[in-house]
Amino acid sequence: MVQIAVMGYGVVGSGVVEVLTTHTDHIAKRAKEEIGIKYILDLREFPDSPFADKFTKSFDDIINDPEVRVVVEVMGGLHPAFEYSMRCMEAGKSVVTSNKELVATKGAELLKVAQEKNVNFLFEASVGGGIPIIRPISQCLAANDVIEIAGILNGTTNFILTKMIHDSMDFQDALALAQKLGYAERNPAADVEGADACRKICILASLAFGRHVYPEQVHTEGITNISLADVEYAEQWGGVVKLIGRVKQMESGKLQIIVCPMFIPRESQLANVDDVFNGIMVRGDSTGDVVFYGKGAGKLPTASAVVADVIDCVKHFKARKYLFWGEGSPDYVEDYLDDKVSMYVRAHTDNEALALGNANHLLGKINHLTRKNAPAGEIAFVTETMPERAIVEKLKKLSELGVTIENTIRIGEL
C-alpha cells in the first residue's frame, strides 16, 4: 500500500479522491500496489464527507509523515502551491499537479529539484485536462524533432467562439451563456484575455524545446475584441476564428511563440474542434502532424489525468520518469513583431474605393473580403505575408490617410 496526500479539495481535488476511491482495484492492478489516501489538506470543513477523517488543515502533517510518498497538488494559484511542492520534493516525496500557473511559472525550478532529489514532478493534467499530451510529447515523440505545436488550449473561449460562429451570438451573450453553464468564471479574464492558453503553450514549448518559456515572454491577445463581423469575414475567407496558442523553433534556436485569435482554414484539423473541446497539433519532423483532441477541462477528465500521474509515480519510485527542461533566458523568444505574418484587417472609411486602393498600394496585393449587410464604410481585407512590424507601420500610414482600423486578426496557416 502506497500512501498519498491530496492538497486542495476543490473541483479537481474532489475528483481525484472520487477516481481513486471508485477505481481502486483497477488502479491497484495498473500501479501494482494499492494506493491509499492518507491526508486531504483543505482549510475548509467537510464534516459530512465520507472522507472526513482524512482532512487536515496542517501541511506539517503531510511533510512530516514519511509514509506519504506522493503528494497531489491541486490547490491552484502560485502560493503556497510552489512552496509546498518544493518542500515535498526536498523531503523526498514525488509531486503531481494540475496547476498550470505553477508549472508555467516555476517549472524549471521544480524540475531541477525533482532531478536533484530523484523524485518525480509530473503534470499531465496541467495541459489539455484529460487529453494525454505531456507524455506523448516527451515519450512517443522522443525520436522526433518537434517543429511546431499549435492548439486550441482553452475550452471556455472555444465555447464562446463556437456560439458566435454557429449561432451568431455576440461575444457578451456567448460569455453570459458560458457563465450560466459553468464553463466560465464570474471573473472570466484569465480565459477570455488568453492568460490560461498562454500558460499552457508555455508548458508545451518548454517541454518540447527544452528551455523554460515564461508567460510574460509570450505576446498574448484574448478574444474580447472579436465581433460577429469578424466571424463573417472569416467564413468568407474560408475558415473560422479560433484562439490559438502556437510555438515554432527558428533555425537560430529562438522560439516564435504567441497566443492570439487566428483565422484558420476550414480544412485544418483544428477548425472542427468546437464547444469546450481542446485540440492540439504537434508537428514532428518524422511523424508529420499528430493531433490530440478531447475535453480540455472538467472535474473527472482532469482528475483522471492526475491519477494516471500518481500511478506512474508509484510504478517509478526506482526509475524516475525523465521529464525535464532547463532555465530560459530573456532572449530565448523572438519579438513577435519580427515574425512574418499575413493579417486580416477590418476598418472604417468614408471612401471605400480610395481606402482599398491605398491598402493595396501600401500592403501588397490584398485579398478583399465582403459580407452581406455590412454597414456603409466598412472594409475588410487580408494582407500579404510580411514581418508584423511592417504591417503595423503600413496600417499606421493607412489610418493617417483617414481609415479607422477597427480590428486585426492574424492568419494561421495550420
* Phi, psi of 176, deg, nearest 5: -60, -40
Nearer to a copy of itself, 286 or 373 (CB): 286
Does 73 interact with a copy of itself (rule: CB under 8 A)?
A: no
The helix (run of H) or strand (run of E) holding residue 14 is helix 11-22
Binding-site size, a copy of itself (CB under 8 A): 53
β-sheet bridge partners, residue 18: none
Catalytic residue check, 57: no
Does residue 101 contact residue 124 with C-beta atoms inside 8 Å?
Answer: no
Give the binding range for a copy of itself (CB under 8 A) out of 21-29, 43-51, 60-68, 361-369.
21-29
Give the binding range for a copy of itself (CB under 8 A) out of 76-84, 115-123, 212-220, 299-307.
299-307
Give the binding range for a copy of itself (CB under 8 A) out of 27-35, 155-163, 222-230, 256-264.
27-35
**Shortest distance, position 74 Cβ to a copy of itself, whole Å:** 14
Does 145 interact with a copy of itself (rule: CB under 8 A)?
A: yes
Q: Distance between the two ends of the chain, CA-based, in angstroms?
A: 47
Nearer to a copy of itself, 10 or 288 (CB): 288
Does 386 interact with a copy of itself (rule: CB under 8 A)?
A: no
Parallel, antiparallel, or unpaired: how do β-strands 2-7 and 68-73 relate? parallel
Nearer to a copy of itself, 215 or 298 (CB): 298
Distance between CA 216 and CA 220 in Å, rounded?
Answer: 9
Distance between CA 375 and CA 105 in Å, rounded?
Answer: 45
Does 232 interact with a copy of itself (rule: CB under 8 A)?
A: no
Distance between CA 61 and CA 68 in Å, rounded?
Answer: 10
Give the binding range for a copy of itself (CB under 8 A) out of 15-23, 172-180, 345-353, 360-368.
15-23
69: DSSP letter: E
Does 118 interact with a copy of itself (rule: CB under 8 A)?
A: no
C-alpha neighbours within 13 Å on the C-beta side of residue 350: 2
Nearer to a copy of itself, 254 or 299 (CB): 299
Count of H-run helices and E-run strands, the chain: 14, 18
Asked if omega into 47 is within 30° of 0 (cis), the reply is no
Active site residues: 200
- Enumerate binding residues for a copy of itself (CB under 8 A): 19-20, 23, 26-27, 30-32, 124, 129-132, 135-136, 139-145, 269, 272, 284-295, 298, 300-301, 303-308, 310-312, 315-316, 318-319, 322
